[in-house]
Amino acid sequence: MVHSPAESDGGPVTLRLGPGERVLFGRGSTAKPVGLRFSDEAVSRLAGEIHATDDHWQLSNLSTTHGYLVENPEGAGEYLRVPPRRVGAPIPFEFSRVVLPSRRDTPVSFLVFAPDHVYLDPHTSGGSWDSRTLTAYSLDETATYFLVLVALCEPWLRDRSPVAVPTTPEVVERLRGHSGRTGLTARAVSSHIDYLADEKLRIGAPAAPGADRAQRRNGKREAVVALALKFGIVREEHLALLPPRSGTAAADGGV
């Protein structure tokens, strides 16, 4: 899943690519259309291409002059540089920020959520590959999307008998004090929820006829929480991943 925030032309854009699918990005033109368009004059008409594979993605830098950075927002400064004219550079990060040089105060950037990374069942050992069991839901418990999932499930795990799933702004506020997740925005949280629902948990949450955008978003959050709790994907011990709550909230719901 490729997500570009508001600096792309026409507002935020989210693209979903299946294995083998590609998308071009750049300034584009009538003669050179691109799937992800940026207006910054420092960005080439055909700046690059994203290629989705089975378990990772590749970045081709079509610029002849500019190198691109691919950052791991969850990797304590981890990044790699893709030099000009490099084709098919494999990107190992499950969640990445692609940064392009810009003449503006802030660089042009967009987010890429990688194809699903597959993990063996932790209780499986030995035997041939064909005999091994894979985890049904391969989630990285150190990733931001998992932290968002824990925040969504927290009221149930604390036995508050809630009547509604936390809203996106409430999740942002709940994670505000996390030392490693400063600057997490509502738009970013929404992208993580989409990634959980569409890629990680593979939830096809049907929208009710006539449902508006807010209702569809609520339905997706509720479906994610229901599945995570039903199958024990998020458990009480995961609450330790969340930042400490304020004194009032802690007193109301325990620790």
Domain boundaries in the chain?
Answer: 2-113, 144-253
Q: How do 95-100 and 68-71 pair as beta strands?
A: antiparallel
Cα–Cα distance, 46 to 62 (Å, whole number): 6
**Would you state the pLDDT for residue 105?**
74
How much is the pTM? 0.60
Distance of CA 183 to the CA centre of its chain: 15
Closest CA to 224 of 252, 248, 203: 203
Per-residue DSSP letter, 165:
P
Torsion of CA 227, 171, 144, 55, to 10 degrees: 40
**Would you state the pLDDT for residue 4?**
86
**Would you state the pLDDT for residue 115?**
67
5 CB burial (10 A radius; 0-12, 13-18, 19+): middle
Q: How do 48-52 and 36-37 pair as beta strands?
A: unpaired
SS (H, E, C) 42-75: CCCCCCEEEEECCCCEEEEECCCCCCEEEECCCC
**Would you state the pLDDT for residue 75?**
65
Q: Are 60 and 74 in contact (CB under 8 A)?
A: no
Question: Spelled out in words, what is the top-level CATH class assigned to the domain 2-113?
Answer: mainly beta
pLDDT, block means (10 residues), the chain with 255 residues: 69 85 91 89 92 89 93 80 94 89 83 74 53 63 91 87 84 86 82 88 64 71 90 91 70 45
**Would you state the pLDDT for residue 248?**
43
